[in-house]
Structure 1
Amino acid sequence: MSGPSHDTILRAASRPFGEREYRAVTVRDIAAEAGVSAALVMKLFVSKEKLFAAVQPDESLLAELNVPTSELGGALVFRVLIRRERGIQEPWANIPFAVLDSPNPEAARADTCERYLAAIAHLIGDGSADRRFAATVTALMIGFGESVQPWTCLAPGLLTN
């Protein structure tokens, strides 16, 4: 289900979930942020846990990459730098926090790991049983997503000048 209220609630939920622990965020907080009723939030998302899962980063951040394999690394890095420069929340940096803060961290870790590894493996053509190349790329992107923040704030306009 998608629509203006659905999308508004998702956008509104990303801020409190990104700033506070899962347990510290209430459905009423999210409803107030979105300008809707708590009943509508529950009607559209069924539970706080399902809403939390819906706002977490997913492998769709890889879906729009339409570059030759030889340019994938550069394209991934460029996207992180552009998001940082524009002050947009960085999904790669949020992955570990989303997993740790979820109501069921072990299940969230397994699900997130499988989704990202499958997406990266498909993207880079890693058909190995253990997907070690995909695991390496995923780990590097998560680390890069988190570590690049101090550098872009020290050099604003790095990518546009």
Structure 2
Amino acid sequence: MSSPSHDAILSAAGRLFGQRGYRAVTVRDIAADAGVSAALVMKLFVSKEKLYAAVRPDESQLAELEVPTSELGRALVFRVLMRRERGTQEPWAVIPFAVLDSPDPEAARTDVRERYLAAIASLIGDTTPERRFASTVVALMTGFGETVRTLGLFDGWDFDELVGHYGAIVQAQIDACTAALNQ
């Protein structure tokens, strides 16, 4: 059962880890951002490593997408932009930090790769042995999530125009998967 403090700590940790990475963030940084004591952070999460694991990129939000496959590219892009508008954690943007800055990068790489590939492959129906199309969609979305948050490459774009533009790029891979599997 979570409390407002628990949720505030998770939110602060997700935001800070996503912005600066695991090594650059201290428990005190997280506590200050969440408006709680460092002791409370440690009481609730035991260690910085366990807190980091609690805010790892979460592919489960992908299962909530209930749109036709023909609209999936736009829906994925729309969600990234809505999280940017709301200032909430961006799972796609956290992926590089979750892997490279993890206490165990190889284990994190395997875990995150498999969770995201499985989720996207399931969404788009990619049954190719190497999950070629799911891999491309994951790469496109990770790059998009990261550049939207970190580089601000699309800051001047109209929201709907960007959903249509980048959504079409992602959708092209989804459609290619459908076409390849229907041959």
Q: What TM-score results when the alignment is normalised by the length of structure 2?
A: 0.74
Cα RMSD for the two superposed structures: 2.2
Distance 1:81 1:13, change over 3 A: closer
Rounded to whole Å, the distance in 2 between the matches of 1:107 and 1:143 is: 21
Mapping 1:111-150, distance limit 5 Å: 111-148=111-148, 149-150=152-153
Distance 1:103 1:88, change over 3 A: same
Q: What TM-score results when the alignment is normalised by the length of structure 1?
A: 0.83
Percent identity, aligned pairs only?
Answer: 75
Instruction: Quote the residue 1:30 is aligned against.
Output: 30
Rounded to whole Å, the distance in 2 between the matches of 1:119 and 1:138 is: 10
Which 4+ runs in 1 deviate beyond 6 A? none
Instruction: Quote the residue 1:100 is aligned against.
Output: 100
Q: What runs of 5+ residues in structure 2 fail to find an aligned partner?
A: 162-183
Q: What runs of 5+ residues in structure 1 fail to find an aligned partner?
A: none
Mapping 1:149-160, distance limit 5 Å: 149-151=152-154, 153-155=155-157, 157-159=158-160
Instruction: Quote the residue 1:91 is aligned against.
Output: 91
Q: Which amino acid aligns with 2:160?
A: L
Rounded to whole Å, the distance in 2 between the matches of 1:47 and 1:58 is: 20
Q: CA deviation at 1:130?
A: 2.2
Rounded to whole Å, the distance in 2 between the matches of 1:130 and 1:57 is: 22
Contact 2:56 2:98 in 1 (8 A): yes
Q: How many residues align?
A: 158
Q: For residue 139 of structure 1, give the secondary structure of its aligned residue in structure 2.
A: helix
Could you tell which deviates more after superposition, 108-117 or 54-63? 54-63
Instruction: Quote the residue 1:66 is aligned against.
Output: 66
1:42 and 2:42 are equivalent in the alignment? yes
Distance 1:85 1:29, change over 3 A: closer
